[in-house]
Homo-oligomer: A and B are copies of this chain.
């Protein structure tokens, strides 16, 4: 129903690429003319997204350098579509050759096989999370456009849970964040120990990421199928490994009573400023933003690539043993933060006038 490789109607990103192919191409449509844009603008965000920066993430170490193929003239956008190529430099296809015929549990190998039959199995091929490069590229441009319009939406994502370690106030932005795992500094050490423990066991950990969107213009979104909740959940579930998306009170709403859950509004009658006493509604009522922070909680499964020995099936549908090597993230939360921030920028710019 929705295109598989394209997102947006006003601001559109379309991409192609595989983990171990030549590279990733992203075409961005809907950027107005006259915006300064250069290769340098992409480097910081691409660097945040990439793996290889610490022992808590995949060691695939690749400096993602974008090449601008179209849409920029004399350093500024022209209103024409922008094309960006990021070459794959550090792919190591030997790592994966033994997986040609084996379907790894938890991965898309089996479902891609069902759907496509002929598939690029190297590093997950098209199903690789490396595809998120295109969302980061889109977001860099989206943020430039928002800035040019003086719209100061601020999307903050941080890891609030890794395995058993949980941050008690998921919707309060922590004072400081550990850059290696994008988690509150107060619990980062414990989280890191959990990750190292899991890695030692050849295992991986599930996690949760909080997203707090500040300075949301009032009245964004539309009723029903135009709801911001519908749009953002769609955007987030289009990312790999997401198992749950909650807004505001989320799953806890099921244990609450209406009198507690209703966010009471009041006003300082003098300046007519409206205050919400609480934010169970997560900034969205009837699909439309109220101006309160949009609050999202995203759950990520433990990465499917683990070094523990597993049993699985192969292409001939025979049961076989599996040992996965290669370069993997032991926990997805840390790397998911910049990705979900990017995706949300791309989503929201599509509904901002």
Are the CB atoms of A5 and B27 closer together than 8 Å?
yes
What are the residues of chain B within 8 A of A289 when measuring CB–CB? 111, 114
Please give me the residue from chain B that is nearest to A115 by CB atom. Answer: B219
Are the CB atoms of A21 and B70 closer together than 8 Å?
yes
A148 interface residue per 8 A CB criterion: no
- Alpha-carbon distance between A205 and B67 when the two chains are bound, in angstroms: 40
A83 interface residue per 8 A CB criterion: yes
- Mark each residue of chain A from 263 to 285: 1 if its CB lies under 8 Å from any CB of chain B, else 0: 11111010011100000111011
How distant is A290 from chain B, measured CB to nearest CB, in Å? 5
A250 interface residue per 8 A CB criterion: yes
- Alpha-carbon distance between A266 and B204 when the two chains are bound, in angstroms: 22
Q: Copy number in this complex?
A: 4
Interface of A is mostly: mixed
How distant is A23 from chain B, measured CB to nearest CB, in Å? 6
A196 interface residue per 8 A CB criterion: no
Please give me the residue from chain B that is nearest to A233 by CB atom. Answer: B233
- Alpha-carbon distance between A238 and B114 when the two chains are bound, in angstroms: 30
A89 interface residue per 8 A CB criterion: no
What are the residues of chain B within 8 A of A119 when measuring CB–CB? 33, 73, 78-79
Most B CB within 10 A of own CB, among A12, A127, A225, A264 = A225
22 A-B pairs within 8 Å (CB atoms) are namely A1-B8, A3-B225, A5-B27, A5-B80, A5-B81, A14-B14, A16-B81, A22-B68, A23-B69, A25-B27, A78-B118, A79-B116, A80-B126, A111-B286, A112-B286, A114-B291, A115-B222, A163-B257, A202-B259, A206-B256, A243-B282, A258-B305
